[in-house]
Each structure stands twice: as C-alpha cells, then as structure tokens.
C-alpha cells in the first residue's frame, strides 16, 4: 500500500498565493467527487482512517471517478474541507511510460474540458542521463522527470469555478514499469485550513512542556 502517497502533496508546485473567495451558496459550490468546500468530518461520509491530524482517507465518495480509487481529504473543524487528493490504481506500463502518459492525457483532457488549457510541465531535468525515450519511467522514478498539469486562477489567470483555487494532475512512478496518477483540488480556504492545523499542532506541543 502506498502509505506515503496518501499523505504527500504537490508541494513543489503549490505557491502560497491561495486567496479566500467570497462565500458561495451551497447549491452553487462545485462538488468534485461529491465533496464541497467547508464540509465537516461528519459530512464526509464513512471515514476509513485518519492519516494525520484532520487528514482523512475516505472509504468511498458519492461521485467516484472510474480511474481513481483512493480519496484523501483535509478537513479541520473550523475551515472544513479544503483539500482533496485522489489516487489511481497502480498501472503496469512499458519503460517508455506509454500507458501512463495516455492515462495522464485522458485525465488532463477531462479537466481541460471544464477549466481550459492548463500550465503543463513535461520535461526531464537538465543534465539527466535518463533522457532517452526508453528511460522515461526510470527518470520519473528518480524524480528527474516531471509530468504535471496545473489549473490556477492566481498562477495562470484561469477562470476557476467558485471555491476552487487550484487543481493538479500529475504522474508518478513506483518502479520502472509501474506508475499511477494523482489528482489534487485546493479550495480557496486552503490557507485558513493549514493555519488551523498548524495552530492545533502547536497547542498540542505546548501541552507537553
């Protein structure tokens, strides 16, 4: 089981420019996978486990995607739901990553149909020796290659739907012939959410002194 996958986020690409938007009536809020910004833990449905403080792996979602199987959310008590990470199954592919790239393109196109053309990174690091087509998966595994699409109002001036600040789709490798996709949604209350979690952790630490 990919324990680290469930907790990790695309922090290398997340710029701390998420801004709080105006409150949107519940009926107008986007609901990726059936989840809306501000949902409390009690409203999320059945929780499989709490991975870390206020970060929950859900047993199911009301609007599952056929290519995604694990859903993890952040939802502290005050801010409520502010982040979703959905992870695909592990897919076998060839060393050139053809199937994984195809799955990525399909997922990117689906989001693109709603939010428009994304900011796309599809490149190998300068100086990498894993720059041949047959080394595609090996380079991804070594973190020397990136395949990522980003939709953002702050970074890319895209017309995002209400309450949605950023969306990422990215490909990852588990081995030279196995990979997966992750889709992340950052809501406009994400900064508030992170501050609440850090504050709670700080108070917990203070109680030990």
pLDDT of residue 202: 74
Q: Which helix (H) or strand (E) holds 180?
A: strand 178-187
pLDDT at 16 over 50: no
Mean pLDDT of 131-135: 96
Residue with tokens 């199937």: 99
pLDDT of residue 209: 60
Tell me the C-alpha distance between 173 and 169, whole Å: 14
pLDDT at 91 over 90: yes
């Amino acid at each position: 089981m990919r324990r680290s996958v469930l907790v990790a986020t695309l922090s290398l690409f997340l710029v701390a420019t998420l801004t709080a938007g105006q409150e949107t009536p519940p009926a107008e809020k986007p609901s990726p996978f059936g989840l809306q910004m501000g949902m409390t833990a009690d409203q999320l449905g059945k929780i499989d486990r709490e991975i870390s403080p206020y970060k929950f792996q859900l047993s199911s979602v009301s609007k599952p995607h056929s290519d995604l199987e694990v859903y993890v959310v952040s939802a502290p008590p005050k801010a409520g739901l502010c982040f979703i990470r959905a992870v695909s199954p592990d897919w076998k592919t060839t060393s050139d990553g053809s199937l994984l790239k195809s799955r990525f393109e399909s997922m990117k196109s689906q989001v693109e149909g709603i939010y428009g053309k994304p900011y796309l990174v599809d490149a190998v690091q300068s100086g990498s020796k894993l720059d041949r087509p047959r080394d595609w998966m090996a380079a991804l595994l070594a973190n020397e290659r990136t395949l990522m699409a980003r939709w953002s109002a702050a970074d890319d001036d895209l017309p995002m739907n209400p309450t949605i600040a950023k969306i990422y789709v990215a490909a990852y490798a588990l081995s030279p012939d196995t990979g997966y996709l992750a889709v992340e949604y950052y809501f406009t209350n994400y900064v508030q959410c992170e501050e609440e979690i850090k504050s709670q952790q700080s108070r917990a630490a203070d109680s030990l002194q």
